[in-house]
């Protein structure tokens, strides 16, 4: 078809070939070379992204193929995808690809990574590449030292009228203006990109966000309603849905997502936004239909299959079909979620739906990704508390304390669980003493925990003295189980078995922490054999 100069027919033939042989890697490689040989930047960027991500999955991140894709994504300005795939490679990229990666990092908004990788390039590498010099100046204008920022800003803006580098200067000026919250300069460069056909939906979305921050929400809403160009990638689809929803245009967001989600269904984030929107609008039949679209896609993965089953389960909960929901959730937890945000999304939603144990089974394997996220550990803590699972509860408390030891609640929870799990008795004594004396108003829960920590360290006299100071007759209802449990354990460890039995009969087992509950049940059985 190309030999006969029938371009559209050639594109159709390529798509048919790939659809009929989705696992043929050589066809895919030739297709990507074809995409780079012809100026299809606007019309075919979707195909480059969609088929590229599929190709990446079936080649298992083969280094040569990843480099080919990096060239394709760079050609089509798909920098978010390039950022993702180049992270799959080891270090020591060829210098040409390393330069592309550095530029991609800036365009993808990864400023700190850009600085780090730029510093690895030699002065000669940077000096011989006029584009890279502009990128470096743009970084310094937005995030560099204050004493040189203005000089670099002037350098970039002096290039805006340049015939050779003007388009790139405007693209970089957009990112600088966003970082510096300069709406006027952002708009100037956006208008230029519109005039030469190089604007993207993301450029508009970021501009609308700046308008909202300036209190110009009606203006942002008006522009959003008038926008009618198609998205170029999945990130734009998802972000448009979020922005439209935040502006109260949920029907517009739904229409946009229902149109474009099937086309960009290879990217799981699109389905996250779509599912959240349908759930918020309680459109349960539409949520089930979206799940079927996922499973009928040729780009479906194991994780997307699990996500589609989650969507069906959410619809079943919304329609009060509890048995169907439980059966579907049993299938959801069988899948692996390599894209961590998908597992995180499902785990949080399962917790909200009332399935904490299942939520934890998906969330706990994501620890390596979210180990420094307080939101993640707070979610684990809440779910483990409601499901009575001691190990994840302790891990969450320990990590929250690690990240913010000055937070009273984190310290208190960690100290309580050190005592409950009978771990690190010396640390438990130190933390409970600190908590007990941190506030002028005596915190009885801290006193109880400190007494128990002392007992763990066999300091029984001190433990009993603290317990005797507690006014038992005026204890609030929520403190009574811990108070009785403390007396039970202290007496048992002192071998005062009569007192231990007295308080043991008062313990409300169902209101104990998992570690306390296990200790009580084991100890009570042993106690009843002692005469």
Please check whether residue 119 lies inside any domain of the structure. Answer: no
**Whether residues 499 and 398 fall in one domain:** no
Band (pLDDT 50/70/90 cuts) for residue 54 is low
Q: Which domain holds residue 477?
A: 424-527
Please check whether residue 476 lies inside any domain of the structure. Answer: yes
Please check whether residue 76 lies inside any domain of the structure. Answer: no
**Whether residues 523 and 441 fall in one domain:** yes
Domain count, the chain: 2
**Highest mean pLDDT of the ranges 50-59, 358-367, 407-416:** 358-367
CA–CA dist 250, 245 (Å, integer): 5
Please check whether residue 109 lies inside any domain of the structure. Answer: no
Q: What is the pLDDT of residue 99?
A: 86
**Whether residues 479 and 448 fall in one domain:** yes
Please check whether residue 288 lies inside any domain of the structure. Answer: yes
**Whether residues 293 and 381 fall in one domain:** yes
Please check whether residue 257 lies inside any domain of the structure. Answer: no
Instruction: Give the tokens for residue 32.
Output: 């990507």
User: Cβ(452)–Cβ(482) under 8 Å?
Assistant: no
Q: Has residue 81 got a pLDDT over 80?
A: no
Please check whether residue 253 lies inside any domain of the structure. Answer: no
**Whether residues 352 and 449 fall in one domain:** no
Cα 470 versus chain centre, distance: 45
**Whether residues 292 and 381 fall in one domain:** yes
Please check whether residue 104 lies inside any domain of the structure. Answer: no
CATH number (domain holding residue 354): 1.25.40
Mean pLDDT of 419-445: 84
Q: What is the pLDDT of residue 72?
A: 75
Q: What is the pLDDT of residue 301?
A: 84
User: Cβ(427)–Cβ(412) under 8 Å?
Assistant: no
Q: Has residue 41 got a pLDDT over 50?
A: no
Q: What is the pLDDT of residues 328-345, one digit of tens each?
A: 999 999 999 988 999 999
Cα 66 versus chain centre, distance: 24
**Whether residues 444 and 397 fall in one domain:** no
Signed CA dihedral, 388, 386, 274, 32: sign only = negative
Beta-carbon-side half-sphere exposure of residue 333 (alpha carbons within 13 Å):
19
Residue where a domain terminates, one of 354, 375, 404 = 404
Q: Has residue 136 got a pLDDT over 80?
A: yes
CATH number (domain holding residue 504): 1.25.40.10
């Amino acid at each position: 078809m190309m030999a006969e100069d029938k371009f559209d027919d050639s594109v159709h033939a390529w798509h048919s070939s790939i659809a009929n042989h989705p696992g043929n890697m050589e066809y895919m490689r030739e297709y990507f070379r074809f995409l780079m040989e012809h100026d299809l930047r606007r019309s075919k960027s979707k195909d480059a992204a969609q088929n590229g991500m599929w190709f990446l999955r079936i080649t298992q991140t083969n280094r040569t193929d990843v480099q080919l894709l990096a060239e394709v994504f760079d050609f089509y300005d798909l920098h978010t995808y390039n950022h993702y795939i180049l992270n799959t490679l080891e270090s020591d990229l060829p210098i040409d690809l390393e330069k592309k990666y550095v530029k991609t990092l800036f365009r993808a908004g990864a400023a700190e990574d850009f600085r780090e990788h730029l510093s690895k390039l030699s002065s000669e590498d940077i000096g011989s590449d006029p584009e890279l010099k502009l990128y470096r100046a743009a970084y310094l204008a937005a995030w560099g030292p204050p004493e040189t920022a203005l000089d670099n800003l002037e350098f970039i803006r002096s290039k805006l009228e340049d015939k050779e580098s003007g388009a790139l200067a405007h693209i970089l000026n957009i990112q600088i203006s966003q970082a510096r919250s300069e709406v006027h300069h952002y708009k100037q460069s956006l208008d230029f990109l519109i005039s030469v056909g190089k604007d993207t939906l993301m450029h508009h979305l970021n501009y609308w966000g700046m308008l909202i921050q300036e209190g110009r929400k009606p203006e942002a809403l008006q522009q959003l309603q008038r926008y009618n160009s198609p998205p170029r990638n999945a990130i734009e689809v998802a972000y448009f849905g979020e922005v439209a929803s935040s502006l109260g245009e949920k029907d517009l967001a739904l229409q946009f997502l229902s149109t474009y989600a099937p086309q960009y269904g290879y990217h799981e984030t699109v389905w996250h936004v779509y599912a959240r929107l349908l759930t918020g609008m309680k459109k349960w039949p539409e949520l089930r239909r979206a799940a079927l679209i996922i499973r009928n896609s040729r780009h479906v993965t194991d994780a997307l299959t699990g996500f589609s089953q989650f969507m069906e389960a959410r619809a079943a909960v919304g329609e009060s079909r509890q048995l169907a929901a439980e059966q579907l959730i049993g299938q959801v937890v069988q899948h692996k979620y390599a894209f961590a945000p998908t597992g995180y999304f499902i785990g949080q939603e399962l917790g909200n739906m009332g399935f904490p144990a299942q939520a934890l089974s998906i969330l706990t394997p994501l620890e390596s990704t979210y180990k420094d996220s307080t939101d993640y550990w707070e979610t684990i803590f809440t779910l483990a508390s409601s499901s009575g699972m001691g190990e994840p509860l302790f891990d969450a408390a320990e990590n929250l304390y690690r990240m913010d030891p000055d937070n009273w609640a984190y310290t208190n929870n960690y100290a309580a669980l050190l005592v409950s799990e009978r771990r690190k008795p010396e640390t438990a004594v130190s933390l409970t003493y600190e908590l007990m004396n941190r506030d002028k108003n005596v915190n009885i829960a801290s006193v109880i925990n400190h007494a128990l920590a002392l007992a763990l360290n066999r300091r029984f006299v001190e433990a009993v003295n603290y317990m005797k100071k507690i006014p038992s007759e005026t204890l609030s209802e929520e403190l009574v189980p811990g108070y009785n449990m403390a007396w039970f354990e202290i007496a048992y460890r002192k071998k005062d078995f009569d007192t231990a039995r007295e308080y043991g009969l008062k313990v409300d087992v169902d209101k104990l922490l998992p570690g306390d509950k296990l200790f009580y049940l084991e100890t009570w059985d042993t106690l009843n054999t002692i005469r």
